[in-house]
Structure 1
Amino acid sequence: MNGIIKRGLAVASSMAIGLSASMAVAQEEVFFEEITVTATKREQTLQEVPIAVSVTSGETIEKAQVLDILDLQTLVPSLRVTQLQSSGNTNFVIRGFGNGANNPGIEPSVGVFIDGVYRSRSAAAISDLPNLQRVEVLRGPQSTLFGKNASAGVISVITALPDDTFSGKAEVTAGSYGQLIVKGDVSVPISETAGFSLSAGSNTRDGYSDNLADGTDFNGRDRWNVRGQLALVPRDNISLRFLADYDEIDELCCGVGNLVSGPATGAIIGVGGAIVPNDPFGLQSFYNYSPRNQIENSGISMQADIDIGEMTLTSITAARNVTRIEDFDADFTSADIIGRNFSDTDIDTFTQELRLAGGSENVDWMVGLFYFDESVKYDTQLLLGNVTRPYTALLASMGTNPFFWDGLEAQLAPFGVQPGTFFAPGQGVSETTGQDNQALSVFAQVDWHLSDRATLTLGANFTTDEKDAFVRQVNTDVFSALDFVAIGYAGARAGGADDATATFISTTPCSATNPPPGCNALLGLQALQVLPQFVNYPNSVENGNSEDDDVTWTARLAVDVTDSLNMYASASTGFKASSWNLSRDSRPFAADLAAIQGAGLQTPNLTTGTRFAGPEESTVFEVGLKGKFARGAVNLAVFEQTIEGFQSNIFSGVGFNLANAGKQSTKGVEIDATFFATEALEFTFAGTFLDPKYDSFVGALGVNGPEDLSGKTPAGIHERSMTGSATYTKDFANGNSAFIRADYIYESEVQVVDNVPKSVASREVNVLNSSIGLSTESGWDFMVWGRNLTDDDFLLSAFPSVFQEGSLSGYANQPRTFGVTLRKAFY
């Protein structure tokens, strides 16, 4: 192992020794409370469950002012959540693995479950967290029990059931940038066997990024949610839980800053536009219109638990819908270059899970199945703006002639080119895409208790997945449809060149040492053909269908070394089915090109690429230790995890490049510790130490275009991530209490994305959060809090600027914020 892993092990060992020694001094004082988890779909304590899992309680979430899953990463170092160009484009990453944002054809590698119901897209999982009991983050492949889209891990959110007595709470928060959060919940017992609860909330905040072009601000909040549940116990052996939820997001989000101003900046200024150059953290931009995104997310579910003798049958049925409408200024300048960049997404999902669990003195077992049916509809439109023509004319003429296209159109009139048709306002592409997906998983897991202290676990999951995808595009971009090679060849032949000479001229770019007429000057304009014609599918060559089958498995041995120390060794695999590229960057595979040409489907300037990325398969070998003591606990995991065929989705400047990385591996150490110095003073520490690399990734979209990244470190994965907290609680004789808390997050420097240089876009995180609160015996809570108190600046992501070759852009993090929260509980 390299130095990073060794340092991680050294930290873990010293912590374990220190905790054991300090806790042995006062074993009679027990401050540490057991935490119940359902990570294996059974109730166990956190220290008993033999997998790597982080658990955050509802109380901790309230004290740390964690509002949603984005904030949760400040407490779990193995988890990273990144929001990109819109509220709904959010990426979940565990142990450096994760994808699924920015392309509706790609399901996340990290599965998100809320009360046992799978949320297939991040837009369906980012609303403010409801009345929480706890959040579990399961690290590493979890496909055996959670199915096809848990190849990197699982985030499981568990909310509270209705109370059996009348109770509730109301809460108001006021904070920086005019933030106002109002939320509440109430539980009402209907009878001794029935209870109802209702929760609702709204979250509004002005944006912290200013649009200097029109005076608006963005990166704000404007969202609300409502959620109701009914719990019934019609018989002693039957419990039912009905849930219904609805939430909306209508926000101006998200702002982009300029990292590098390339040669195109002069042309932007030349057509009257403006840009804030080389300052992504100034939180100021020039957009000719502010980015807007609207999300509506709704669903219903029913869970039934039926005891049948010594067995329990569990059924979870759910139907969900999420719609997204987005429109943002894709050139991120005040010049109207991209006049419209609109998308409308509608996703309907139905899921059904059945589990039967039972056991005896020596064996616990579970069998089940999971059915998934989803329909995706995705319509997009990208149109050229009012100044695209003079802007591109300045680019083509090296900044000298905004009327460059007038002359070229006249020269190409013999080829059918009409005056004024190049880069005319309103030209562009409109796409209608979609995907139907059906999947079925059948799984089983058995725990054999070999002795009072040893348990062998074996599990397997068979998953079959079928997708039918389509893309239909209408392209009106005249310039991008021109075949410059054919035009060059025809011109050379008309000038008297023979076939061989004309072929050479038509395919040879001009240069200072090879000027016309021995070359094709038009080839120098190909970089401006940003919206080439598209081959729609399904077609006679490509059927738009993928079918994948896979068996994943888990094998684990857990041993209780002592009453307070457990160890386990495990091996498990994960699976994620093929993902279709539902973007304008979807291109036929090179292997299909000849057949497409033979079928007469070829379009001008057709290039090859990928229509879909094949399955993603992960394997992890892990050894873990879990120790609990009177004053705390320490958990350690050492692992080696690989993903073959990792589905990499990188923005190329116009669309998304979707490809399978041949193999990506990570060796790592994770530590999670809690220590009560006294009953009132609690310390926590969690650390993740990783050694990641691409074992094989040929043809990756790198800094210099397609390249071989094999043997290199993947971008975006921090080698060291650590969080620590200290909480002091004081109880008063009158029943009141107070607390003060601080938590700190550190992530080592890393290149943000593979196709932007580290010298331009790197990220190192040093964030301090704090809160102080007072609780009264009568149910009042008052809290003052601050997040990112050091006002640390770092990039969330970066990308080549749209239609601005040589320029780079990036998303900055949220600046320092403060607030106060007032909460009243009633019983």
Structure 2
Amino acid sequence: MKIFSKAAVMGTTAILSGLIAASGALAQVETITVTAQKREQTLQDTPVSVAVVTGEQIEQSQIRDAADLQMLVPSLRVSEFATSTNTEFNLRGIGTSSFNPGLEPSVGVFIDGVYRPRSGSAINDLLSVERVEVIRGPQSTLFGRNTPAGVVSILTQKPEYEFGYTGEVTIGNFGSRILRGTVTGPLSDSMAFRLDATTHTNDGYMTAEDGRAINNRDRQSYRGQLLWNPGDNTEVRVIADFGTIDENCCAAPFAYYDPIDLGAIVGLGGTAVPADPHGGRIAIDGDLNTVLDTSGISFQVDHDFDAFTLTSITAWRNYDEDQNFDADFSDLDLVSDRHIQNQYDSFTQEFRLTSTGDNTIDWMLGGFYYDNQLHFRNSTPYGADARNFFDAASAPSVAALVSSLGLPAGTGGISLLEFFLDMNEGAGVGNFVPLASGSAALPTTPAEGFIDTTHGLISEDYQYDTEAWSIFGQLDFNVTDNFTVTVGGRYSNEDKTMVTQINQPDPMSAFSFLDLAQDLRLVAPGFCNPGLFPVIGGDACAYLVPVVLLGQGATHYPDPLGGAPIPIDPTSPLPSYLAGTAFNPLLGFSAFQNWEPVNAADFPTSRNDTNFSGNIIMSYDVSDTLNVYASYATGFKPGGFNVSTNAAFTGVFEFEEETSSSFEIGMKGALFDNHFAYAVALFDQEIEGFQTNNFVGNGFALENAGSIQVSGLEFEGTWAPTPGLVFTGGFTYLFESKYGDYQFAPCPDGFNGVGVWDAGDPDFALCEVGAERTNTAGVTALFNDLTGRDRGNSEFVGSITGTYTWAVADTMEAFVRAEATNISSFGLMTSQDPRTFANQDGFTMVNGSFGIGADDGRWGLQFWGRNLFEQEYVKGAFPSVGYLGSSVNAYPGDPRTYGVTLRIRG
């Protein structure tokens, strides 16, 4: 096979057997073999929705890691957030946040049959890949780990008994340097080896104001393999790998500055880089560094008996990650560097017995054991500038009250609260005056003040262990030569245990502003005289909130029963029914409360989940070139523990299992004498107990959302109109992607919607102050109800490629290739923030390449470019960390990159 011909025809995704157009006169049919159902089948005969990306495509499209695969598989989304290792895999709009180690992915990643417990362990550069199979929909029967959304299965090249080598050098813009090497060959008549290595570096495409390079690449991967054939019926494959990443990624510049935050940043001497995620600049005073070491070894043994094959895959994997990053993304020290250490050791063992595949009833039976020991540590204390920032940012909103009290101009909210509490403490209010709220006493100001570097998340430490086993099987009833009914099932048992240690002192977050609204007094005689507050009279000890309301011109409270308004009495507390409404001016200070009180005893210590899931598939070969199928499948992901003190936000310390069910009908075929091949699938999928993890400005809210519903149409096709010219394309169109049930969703960041949504907007009526609700965990807060609403996924994602190959001379050939991917608009936040910078408009990405080389593959030179037209887009956005206003940060997409690659083979 010529060096460019095969790759050229494979196009965007190899959807079924056929259409390898050589540079000769006629297109020839070649069978593409996959193992999506754990036995070798042609892609056309596989009755599931599966896309295949070949090793040749990976080379020609300059795919470096798993994140690049989405350019060739429209239903796959892979995104990096915050750090290089926070990678999320998403299929058909369904995926799981990678920001909480207690969550397991909805899309399972397997490399050479070995399950990767965390997606971050699969993001290093790909090595000697034979193909990648992207299998969509629940996969409960055949793969070792049950997955509710799908599987990305990466299969690498085996050692060969003929000596060979491959070398590759790439030079590109942003200082890109990539070196790859592979050597394979025999060690004896029965043993062969393969060695792979790659190093990938670039200078990064963003620059910090202090000159540091950000969003760079610095990663290396090494793999060694042995293939041993002790007899005609036995094959043993040993794979050992090591990978390392040491990168300053990933920057999230401001997309919007709330005026409150902007004024405080500038006022304290910080740098306000223009709010533009695509400006290439960011001001930070800390690190954005991630160091990750991953390693593992696996042993696969296949032995053919007369009627079946025994397969055993044994694997150990280690993951050691150290993150240090500036969570506030500014050059003020608002939040000290977040330091995360994430380590796990896993062991997996899978056994399979598989029939030969040529029986009236074919079968497969297997068992899977999984042991994972996770140790997670995090430290995120307040920074040295946090107190001054909160005071400066809140000063304008309290200026009138500060002036009326005769306090120094510019006094901010923290200082004002300390003044009130110190005044009450000095008068002994909490000791001898009954408190309206029933509290024991008003809080006292700590010696260091309410915001200090000794406050915040000083440390959280979790030892989180999982032990799981499952048995699974599948029967293929070959009713006729053309009609097959497949039935499969899996029983899963999951045990999890956790030991928790917490040190999170934050006195500001420890008290209730509802209680303060009823209990705070103006007790100093100077504040209780007719000259300062004429409405009080005498020297009575007035309650603060009624006095403030009177000072604002209010004379009556509303009657909760709809009767006549109630006159405001400054010597009586605020009625309790108003403490959580806009009549409580202290509620705005809740923006200072970043670390809800929590302790280790709040976290569970053990849980068990069991599940039975399965599938049924009916497939029919209409002809040699047309196959149809219909299927129903269920999937499962166990529940677990919220490995974060953020659990206190929603009260969800333990989340429940996630299950999925999917109906699918599909058709695969070829037309025009195999010049056009296609695959079409209609699907309808529902996820119950969807495990969602949403950023809400000062942390993540993890919970079971209830349910989501996704349905749509997938298409993939290949067309070879003339010898040497091939077009491929595919798309995923979602008819719907909505929440079936999500009653306690996060609200957009911003107190009472100021500057975020229009007053009275019915979509956010439940996010207005006074609309607080109590969720199932007993936490009372502002929650939106997104039941029945669109989830904000792209409605359409499609890609198309065109490749033309021609002979240059007797021993040389060339190709030119273009790729385009169109992604329709999508929301960037689960909270459905309506502002333009919280939503991404539709866009189109275009890649291109030109190559020339020897037709026997000895050498090839490729000139390539990605995002050729410099399309600006963002991959995600979030409410800014450590700020009082509704500022937003966003992760920019990669800019235009280009370079040249030289490959040699022998």
TM-score scaled by length of structure 2: 0.82
CA deviation digits over 1:242-291, x for unaligned, max 9? 00000000000011121221122211111111222431221211111231
Question: Residue in 2 aligned with 1:641?
Answer: 685
> Residue 249 of structure 1 corresponds to which residue in structure 2?
245
CA distance in 2, matches of 1:377, 1:457: 41
Superposed displacement of residue 392, structure 1: 1.1
Residue equivalent to 1:401: 410
Q: Secondary structure at the match of 1:107?
A: coil
Q: Which runs of 5+ in 1 are unaligned?
A: 1-18, 588-606
Cα distance, 1:402 vs structure 2:
5.8
Cα RMSD of the aligned pairs, angstroms, is: 2.5
CA distance in structure 2 between the partners assigned to 1:506 and 1:304 by the alignment = 76
Q: Deviations over 1:396-420 (max 9, x none)?
A: 3227526765565455343542444
1:485–1:676 distance in 2 versus 1, CA, 3 Å: closer
Q: Which residue of 2 aligns with 1:88?
A: 85
Match of 2:770 in 1: none
1:221 aligns with 2:297: no
Match of 2:784 among 694, 701, 707: 707
Paired residue secondary structure (2:722): coil
CA contact 1:409–1:418 (8 Å) conserved in 2: no
Tell me the residue number matched to 1:6: none
Listed one character per residue, the Cα deviations across residues 65-85 of structure 1 (whole Å, up to 9, x for unaligned) are 000110000000000011100
Q: 1:109 is aligned with what amino acid?
A: S
Q: Indicate if the aligned counterparts of 2:482 and 2:621 stay in contact, CA closer than 8 A.
A: yes
- Residue aligning to 2:7: none
Deviation at 1:481, TM superposition (A): 3.1
**What is the alpha-carbon distance in structure 2 between the residues aligned to residue 291 and residue 168 of structure 1?**
37
How much has 1:493 moved relative to structure 2?
Answer: 11
Alpha-carbon distance change, 375 to 765 in structure 1, aligned in 2, over 3 angstroms: farther
What amino acid sits opposite 1:822 in the alignment? L
Secondary structure of the corresponding residue to residue 161 of structure 2: coil
Q: In 1, distance between residues paired with 2:478 and 2:446?
A: 80
> 1:217, CA displacement in angstroms?
1.8
- Separation in structure 2 between the aligned mates of residue 543 and residue 803 of structure 1, nearest angstrom: 29
Once the two structures are superposed, residues 619-658 of structure 1 have per-residue CA deviations (whole angstroms, 9 ceiling, x without a partner) of 1111110003522410110111111111111111122111
The structure 2 residue matched to 1:780, chosen from 850, 859, 868, is 859
1-side partners of 2:123 and 2:29: how far apart?
Answer: 32
Alpha-carbon offset, residue 521 of structure 1: 6.4
1:599 is aligned to none
Secondary structure of the residue that 1:707 maps to in structure 2? coil
Does the 8 A contact of 1:112 with 1:118 survive in 2? yes
Mean Cα deviation higher: 358-367 or 79-88: 358-367
Separation in structure 1 between the aligned mates of residue 741 and residue 838 of structure 2, nearest angstrom: 24
1:570 paired to 2:634: no
Q: Which amino acid aligns with 2:824?
A: S
Question: In structure 2, how many angstroms separate the alpha carbons of the residues matched to 1:572 and 1:298?
Answer: 34
Q: CA deviation at 1:114?
A: 0.4
Answer yes or no: is 1:690 the counterpart of 2:734.
Answer: yes
Residue equivalent to 1:421? 449
**Shift in alpha-carbon separation, 1:328–1:402, aligned structure 2, 3 A:** farther
Residue of structure 1 in register with 2:421 after alignment: 412
CA pair 608-66 structure 1, distance change in 2 beyond 3 A: closer
Over 3 Å counting, the alpha-carbon distance change for 1:572 and 1:396 in structure 2 is same
Q: Which amino acid aligns with 1:94?
A: L
> CA separation in 2, counterparts of 1:136 and 1:802?
38
- 1:88/1:647 CA distance change after superposition, 3 Å: same
CA contact under 8 A between 2:362 and 2:475: conserved in structure 1? yes
Q: Secondary structure, in 3 states, of the residue corresponding to 2:390?
A: helix
Structure 2 partner of 1:259: 255
Query: So what's the TM-score if we normalise by structure 1?
Result: 0.89
Larger Rg: 2
Deviation at 1:474, TM superposition (A): 0.7
Question: How many Å separate the matches in 2 of 1:475 and 1:806?
Answer: 25
1:309 CA drift (Å): 2.2
Q: For the Cα contact (< 8 Å) 2:604–2:641, is it kept in 1? A: no
Match of 2:799 in 1: 723
Deviations 1:291-318 (A, max 9, x none): 1111111111000001122111000010
The equivalent position to 1:626 in structure 2, one of 648, 659, 668, is 668
Q: Distance between the aligned counterparts of 2:713 and 2:472, measured in 1?
A: 29
Alignment-derived partner of residue 385 in structure 1: 383
CA distance in 1, matches of 2:553, 2:291: 54
SS of residue paired to 2:79: strand
Q: Is the 8 A contact 1:343 1:380 kept in 2?
A: yes
Say if 2:868 and 2:897, in contact at 8 Å, map to a contact too.
yes
- 1:545 deviation in Å? 2.1
State the Cα distance separating 1:395 from its structure 2 match. Answer: 2.6
SS at match of 1:527: helix
The alignment status of 1:528 with 2:596, answered yes or no, reads no
CA distance in 2, matches of 1:446, 1:491: 72
Larger displacement relative to structure 2 (481-490 or 688-697): 481-490
Match of 1:202 in 2: 199
SS at match of 2:336: strand
Tell me the CA shift for residue 795 of structure 1. Answer: 1.3
Q: What secondary structure does 1:123 align onto?
A: helix
Deviations 1:420-460 (A, max 9, x none): 42322343211112311111111010111111111110000
- The whole-number CA distance in structure 1 between the counterparts of 2:524 and 2:281 is 54
Output the amino acid matched with 1:621: F
Deviation at 1:820, TM superposition (A): 0.4
Query: Does the CA contact (< 8 Å) of 1:47 and 1:628 recur in 2?
Result: no
Residue in 1 aligned with 2:903?
Answer: 823
Query: Which residue, 374, 377, 385 being the options, matches 1:376?
Result: 374
Which whole-Å CA distance do the structure 2 matches of 1:38 and 1:758 have between them? 45
1:739 aligns with 2:815: yes
Aligned to 1:712, the other structure's residue is in SS state: coil
Which letter does structure 2 place at the counterpart of 1:342? H
Partner of 2:52: 55
Q: Which of 644, 649, 652 is 1:610 aligned to?
A: 652
SS across alignment from 2:271: coil
Contact (CA 8 Å) 1:54, 1:138: kept in 2 or not? yes
Distance of 2:500 and 2:894 partners within structure 1? 36
**Secondary structure of residue in 1 paired with 2:67:** helix
How far apart, CA to CA, are the structure 1 residues paired with 2:48 and 2:808? Answer: 39
Deviations 1:168-219 (A, max 9, x none): 111110011000001101002111210011000100001111111x111211
* Inter-partner Cα distance in structure 2 for 1:553 and 1:77: 26
- 1:440/1:761 Cα in 2 relative to 1: closer, same or farther (>3 Å)? same
Deviations 1:754-779 (A, max 9, x none): 22325332222310001111121471
The one-letter amino acid of 1:616's match is E
Q: Classify the secondary structure of the residue corresponding to 2:388.
A: helix
| Equivalent position of 2:38 in the other structure | 41
Structure with greater proportional strand content: 1
Task: Find the residue that maps to 2:726 and give its secondary structure.
Answer: strand
The answer for the alignment partner of 1:790 in structure 2 is: 869
